Amino acid sequence: MAHMGWTALQQWGDDVTRIERLTGGVANEVWSVRVRGELAVARLGRRSDADLAWETGLLQFLDGEGLAVPVPIPTIDGRPFADGLVVMSYVDGEPPVTETDWRRVADTLRRLHSLTTGWPQRPGWRSSTDLLHMDTGTKVDLTAMPPEGVARCRAAWARLVGRPTCVVHGDTNPGNIRITADRVGLIDWDEAHVDVPGLDLVLPHNAADLDDDELDIATQASAAWEAAVCWDDDHSRQQLAQVRPL
């Protein structure tokens, strides 16, 4: 199938207009768009249909459960995505700033985790504990990392074995959180996959109230994941430096 690019937007109607580019990522182009008179967000990437079906299905489920998330806007013929393009509702709000804000974020993440316990893995992805005995999965390629770094990451993930898994958002930086007076919205589910909940709970002010041991386990596992998922750029090298030596 030839890559249609932005011409795929026509499948949402002939009055769809692109407004401005929102983020520059390697994997995706994200634009604000107007669809049927409403402000929305369109993301064009190279994810498989199976991957996009997992993500859009998750978002529809979470919306139905009352979480503030981007909801897929269907094409004219009712599909949640087409030709690598997803169009989603716009979620407004401000990034978290205060400790109180971050505690609300932690509560929202815990609700996400409890709603999705035992959820099936995103197609092609691996959890941190899968990577104890696998080398690759979507954005992760451990063969590209120095063996000594891989050993440190795996030692961090080994502490997670046997824990229940659920959907983790996977990228809870302030730019992906939209807070209003009455709700906490989570956007950019591009890194979401099934893993242990602690990976989402390493937050400013220890807002999730993890005890010292749990915070250490989560912080080490999360740094190892961040190192592995985008090796090797400055951020991933900084993250690997936080994973303690064996």
Confirm whether 55 is domain-assigned.
Answer: yes
Contact 113, 166 (CB under 8 A): yes
Looking at 89, 118, 151, the residue that finishes a domain is 89
Looking at 89, 109, 141, the residue that finishes a domain is 89
Of residues 179 and 15, the one with the higher pLDDT is 179
Is there a single domain that holds both residue 104 and residue 221? Answer: yes
Helix spans in 36-127 (H): 49-64, 99-115
Predicted pLDDT of residue 27: 67
Is there a single domain that holds both residue 192 and residue 233? Answer: yes
Is there a single domain that holds both residue 62 and residue 177? Answer: no
Predicted pLDDT of residue 2: 47
Q: What percent of the chain has pLDDT over 90?
A: 91
Is there a single domain that holds both residue 230 and residue 124? Answer: yes
Confirm whether 168 is domain-assigned.
Answer: yes
Mean pLDDT of 148-159: 98
Is there a single domain that holds both residue 132 and residue 233? Answer: yes
Q: Write the pLDDT tens digit of every residue in 61-106.
A: 999 999 999 999 999 999 999 999 999 999 999 999 999 999 999 9
Is there a single domain that holds both residue 82 and residue 165? Answer: no
Detail the DSSP E strand segments found in the chain: 17-24, 28-35, 38-45, 85-89, 136-137, 140-141, 166-168, 177-179, 184-186, 193-195
Q: What is the CATH number of the domain that holds 16?
A: 3.30.200.20
**Domain extent for 41:** 5-89
Q: Write the pLDDT tens digit of every residue in 12-65.
A: 999 999 999 987 566 689 999 999 999 999 999 989 999 999 999 999 999 999
Is there a single domain that holds both residue 224 and residue 115? Answer: yes
Q: What is the CATH number of the domain that holds 180?
A: 3.90.1200.10
Mean pLDDT of 4-10: 91
236: pLDDT strictly greater than 80:
yes
Predicted pLDDT of residue 184: 98
Mean pLDDT of 179-186: 98
Find the helix or strand (DSSP H, E) in which 227 lies.
helix 212-229
Predicted pLDDT of residue 1: 44
Predicted pLDDT of residue 137: 87
C-alpha to C-alpha distance for 138 and 228, rounded to whole angstroms: 11
Is there a single domain that holds both residue 23 and residue 65? Answer: yes
Confirm whether 94 is domain-assigned.
Answer: no
Predicted pLDDT of residue 23: 73
Q: How many CA atoms lie within 13 A of 95 on its CB side?
A: 7
Is there a single domain that holds both residue 154 and residue 209? Answer: yes
Looking at 89, 117, 138, the residue that finishes a domain is 89
Confirm whether 225 is domain-assigned.
Answer: yes
Confirm whether 195 is domain-assigned.
Answer: yes
Specify which residues 166 forms β-bridges with.
195
Q: What percent of the chain has pLDDT over 70?
A: 97
Predicted pLDDT of residue 3: 60
Q: Structural domain tally of the chain?
A: 2
Mean pLDDT of 110-134: 97
**31 token code pair:** 């634009």
Is there a single domain that holds both residue 54 and residue 78? Answer: yes
C-alpha to C-alpha distance for 121 and 124, rounded to whole angstroms: 8
